[in-house]
Amino acid sequence: MERTFVAVKPDGVQREMIGLVITRFEEKGFQLIGLKMIQMSRELACEHYKEHQDKFFFEALISFITSGPLVAMVWQGEHIIDSVRLMVGATNGLFADPGTIRGDFSAGGRKNIVHASDCLESSDREISLFFRPEEIIDWDMALGNWIR
């Protein structure tokens, strides 16, 4: 079982899409094991997006992600990192396939509704940035036997 980090970004929260995002992953059979709403600090945002610190869009990205609350989540499932990335769609919603979260709901650019870890290393790092170990609940999902 893999774990991945997903966040509904401030635009998704403001557009009341939290439930929609959660529903997509629940319907796929993934298990939610961590959830909280936060207002991201500049310090956390800079650490989260440190791989982009030398890029021209870094300050705009930090400004956007700290502009309002976001919903941070940890999901668990088989091959979940790659599956969630497929479900989320291309970063720019203008180029995301229909049927993906971004393809269906994002108008493009940085306001793309949701963030999802892109690999196991990123997932582990992002989960540890947003969640203490005791905030992740490892529970038995009764439906699990029917979908795995």
Task: Tell me which residue of 80, 65, 96 sits closest to 28, measured CA to CA.
Answer: 80
Can you give the C-alpha Rg of the chain in angstroms? 15
Task: For residues 148 and 143, give the distance between their C-alpha atoms in angstroms, rounded to a whole number.
Answer: 9
Catalytic member of 48, 52, 79, 115: 115
CB 106 within 8 A of CB 12: no
Residue by residue, DSSP assigns 76-111 as EETTHHHHHHHHH--SSGGGSPTTSHHHHH--BTTB
Sheet of strand 70-77, all strands in order from the earlier edge strand to the far edge: 31-38, 70-77, 2-8, 114-116
Told to judge if 115 belongs to the known catalytic residues of this protein, a careful annotator would answer yes
Task: Please calculate the CA angle 110-116-117 and round it to the nearest 5 degrees.
Answer: 120
Residues labelled as active-site residues: 115
